[in-house]
Amino acid sequence: MQALDRKLLRDFRRLWAQALAIALVLACGVAIFITSFGMYRALEETRIAYYERNRFADVFSDARRAPLSLAREIETIEGVWAVETRVSGAAILDIPGRSKSAVGRILSIPTSGRFSLNVPLLRSGHVPDPETTDQVLVNEPFAQANGFQIGDVFAANLNGQKRPLTITGTVLSPEFIYTIGPGGLMPDNEGYGIIWMPEDAVAAAFDMAGAFNHVSLKLRADARAETVVSSLDNLLEPYGGLDAYDRSQQQSDAFIDAEIKQLRSTSIILPPVFFGITAFLVNMVIGRIIALERSEIGLLKAIGYSNFDICLHYLLLAGLIAVVGIVIGWGVGSWLSQSLARLYADFFNFPFLIYRVSYDAYIISGIIGVATAAVGAIRSVLNAARLAPAVAMSPPAPPKYKRNTLDHALLALRLSQPTMMIFRNLMRWPVRSALTTLGLSLAVSILVAATFFDDSLDTIVDTAFYQSNRQDAVLTFTDEMHESVLEDVRRLPGVLQAESKQYYPATLRNGHLSKRIAIESSRPNPDLSRVIDSDGRVVNPPANGIMLSDRLASELNVRAGDTIAVDFLSGRRESHKIMVAGTVTQYLGLGAYMDMDGLSALFRQKPRIGIVNVTLDENQTDNFHAALKEAPNLAGTTMMTETRQSFLDTIRQNVIIMTTIYVIVATLITVGVAYNGARIQLSERARELASLRILGFTRGEVSFILMGETMILALLAQPLGWLIGVEIARLMTNGFTSDLYTIPLILKPATFSFASLVVLSAALVATLVVRRRLDRLDLVAVMKTRE
């Protein structure tokens, strides 16, 4: 081992605490990169493999009633590889031991028993006999949530006829990875299930013998989905076909895709913050080491070491710090990404998980980590290499001091002598002070960007559940009903209020831009389901216009006063030009709203309804559900009270986990910056502080000088950290926005207070750790050191 190599290891061992503080900051960046990238790749590859193995379709469409013979014509569409038709319906379920009603989506099993597309994966039991009418498969999460075993029986209200159904097996389907019932916001595995029945039984139950009402298509690799969708729409139009849609608009896949995009955004936005702080810390430490070893550098050059040897020596020291951080980051990131990927796989009901973080993720993060350390050290290293031996072995020229405006201002304030010493030292090294402030501000920004979610989710919950949707339950009917059905609903046990609503599937077009959406129509001044604008005011759609959510208006590039084309996909299936009356802020989904009377006049018919919102007497809830189990023409019921609580529980748990992680991360950043800054300050001012002790200054006064500089910089970092945090939060909200939801940028004073409190506390603890070294200073030995 060469002499410089032994010196390198001794220096690294001597600086282990500072090196570890820097390495942990770098490890945070590497770990977040590996975690986000690993989870993203795991979910993406698992999804792709699952879809391929179980032949998940590419295009879907619903119809009212199409003949089975039409399937042959659909197969002839250019680009279509496979076609599968089926009968689909909804049913109210009566589950033994459950007082509340549940909702089931009934799907037909091909007569052959073999699926061409969307193949369910059998998890237990066996496929029902095609000749039976009372045997079913159910999705595994529904079975687990209700404690079902093979052979258990439950009842279903099939098109007004209540029938017992026997479970023969449980399955998972690529079509229902993320399963949300009608009107739901979160998966409710206990109250919503997917049920597969033999085709003949389903067709008989829903009067679909010789017909189908849903079709799935698998496309060839070179096919264009837009062309196939258009051709499929033309074929299904005479049979009440709704607009066909591709996989990106399929509910389950859309939710998963939104989550994957969030992970991708996180891997892009956050790691650069940690890499930047690492570069700054390495610059601080290496710069100070070179300053302290100036004479040694001159001696090394004098005995024959080249500039390259000197550069390489200090770069290797920075590299060792980077290697420690990278290894820690790899380990923590691999563990976190694998653990969280398993949680995601369970939450999304994947039957398997392909976890394979490719080597390129480790290589990229490792290269970035080493490059970060090199960038931080390079300036100081080059300065050391430029020193001539004679100059390096001589003490550096003392800095020139000159009074400036700030000095006069400090004198005018009549500050104490220790306070004057703090401010003068800050002004003596303005660049270092600015960089330390920046490093601490980034710790503040991380917390602001992470904890604003809590305030934003409070706003979403308040708007979606307490201002907009205030009903206790939503009843969905199989067909459009006359408004007189409201009186029947009001007579159900426990119903206090009942309000009508209807959704009309439609395609909104503005030139080449289009969006498939469900237009919501209701009576003016509803009390239970209301449209709320960004100021919290209730808004009523005008009688002769349409109101859009702001994100939908942005996607269509329209604003108030513009006219859009609306192609209605149900009822009379007409196209109309309708003026955009205004826009409203909506956090969940994309919304379009029209007045019920105005829309009925457009269709030249009396108002029809498909949904009734109700409030309930809590003491009559069981009787209410018992009546629903016997009600005809009812396709489903959504209990908003349960949906609200499920949403809150899930969100709160996620927020607590995320906040805890980012508090730890911000603390590591703060400790890394504050500890290294205080250590460097102590090494630079040890002689000065020892002199003050000899002159009679107390330990408290000397400690105040040491700690005061770091704490003042930490205070100055707060406003800058708030501003940077706001910008990072804005980037995150933009990256997380999708058609399914958007996260509003809501920042309350408590968010900034919490971030500042955590960073200031961590900075104080770090400086207190360094301050303990003052008590162990050998005053005589320190005074003997050369200035």
Residue 264's pLDDT band (cuts 50, 70, 90): confident
527 versus 422: the higher-pLDDT residue is 527
The pLDDT confidence band at residue 67, using thresholds 50, 70 and 90, is very high
Beta strands of 512-628 (E only): which ranges?
A: 513-522, 531-532, 538-539, 546-549, 563-568, 575-584, 592-595, 608-616
pLDDT of residue 653: 65
pLDDT surpasses 70 at 644:
yes
499-531 burial, b for 16+ CB within 10 Å, e for fewer? bbbbbbbbbbebeeebbbbebbbbeeebebbbb
Q: Are 593 and 523 in contact (CB under 8 A)?
A: no
pLDDT of residue 476: 82
pLDDT at 699: 74
| Average pLDDT of the segment spanning 492-498 | 89
pTM of the model: 0.71
- As a whole number, mean pLDDT of residues 375-393 equals 76
For the segment 274-315, what is each residue's pLDDT rounded down to a tens digit?
A: 787 778 777 777 777 777 677 777 777 777 778 888 888 888
Q: CA 689, CA 685: separation in Å to the nearest integer?
A: 6
The rounded radius of gyration (Å) of the Cα atoms in the chain is 34
User: Mean pLDDT throughout 86-91?
Assistant: 89
Q: For the chain, which residues make up each domain, given as ranges?
A: 21-53+245-397, 88-207, 429-471+641-787, 495-616
**Under 8 Å CB-to-CB from 740, ≥6 apart: which residues?**
254, 255, 258, 588, 589
- Partnered with residue 163 across adjacent β-strands are 156
350-354, 427-431, 627-631, 637-641: segment of lowest average pLDDT = 427-431
**Each residue of 182-221: pLDDT tens digit?**
666 677 788 889 999 999 999 988 888 899 999 999 999 8
State the amino acid at position 719 in one-letter form: P
Confidence tier at 474 by pLDDT (50, 70, 90): confident
Q: Is residue 257 predicted with pLDDT exceeding 80?
A: yes
Average pLDDT over residues 772-780: 64
Q: What are the beta bridge partners of residue 532?
A: 538
CA dihedral 776, 779, 782, 783 (to 10 degrees): 170
Domain 495-616 falls in which CATH fold? Barwin-like endoglucanases (2.40.40)
Alpha helices in 533-584 (DSSP H): 550-556
**Crossing angle, helix 3-14 and helix 16-53, to 10 degrees?**
90
Average pLDDT over residues 632-646: 76
